[in-house]
Amino acid sequence: MRWSDMDAYGHVNNVVYLTYLEEARVDMLFVHEPTHRAGRLASGVVVARHEIDYKRPIVFRPEPLRIETWVSRIGNASFTLGHEVVDDTPDGKRLLYARAASVLVPYDTAEDRPRRVTQEERAVLEQFLDPVPV
């Protein structure tokens, strides 16, 4: 969390949540195994849609937040990620700050157009599949 994430009301600005989701998405899809085999997703994927429900404000603190991210749907030409911005309290309670969904579309940068999800990409995405409604 950065001090610049804060707004005039003393909590994380709503648009910053999308940056947090982006960082979690990139980490899940392009940094960790088994996603190194995600093929062309690493060279082109665009966000087609975000939906987010803000549940409680986040105030500045030095400890990191946890962003849980999973694949909730895999289509022929897009896939959806579910996200929850959460924290655990010292007494073991789970705090939910936001719940979101992001629709992503594989993109062919050379052709400058959307493309289909390949079988290789589908196999990688299926490892994260948990169709929990968001």
pLDDT tier for residue 1 given thresholds of 50, 70 and 90: confident
The answer to whether 133 and 80 have CB atoms below 8 angstroms apart is no
Whether the link from the prior residue into 90 is cis, omega within 30° of 0, is no
Q: Which three-class secondary structure state does DSSP give residue 80?
A: strand
Q: What is the pLDDT of residue 33?
A: 53
pTM: 0.88
3-126 architecture in CATH?
Answer: Roll (3.10)
* Stretch among 17-21, 112-116, 122-126 having the lowest mean pLDDT: 122-126
Q: Where are the domains of the chain?
A: 3-126
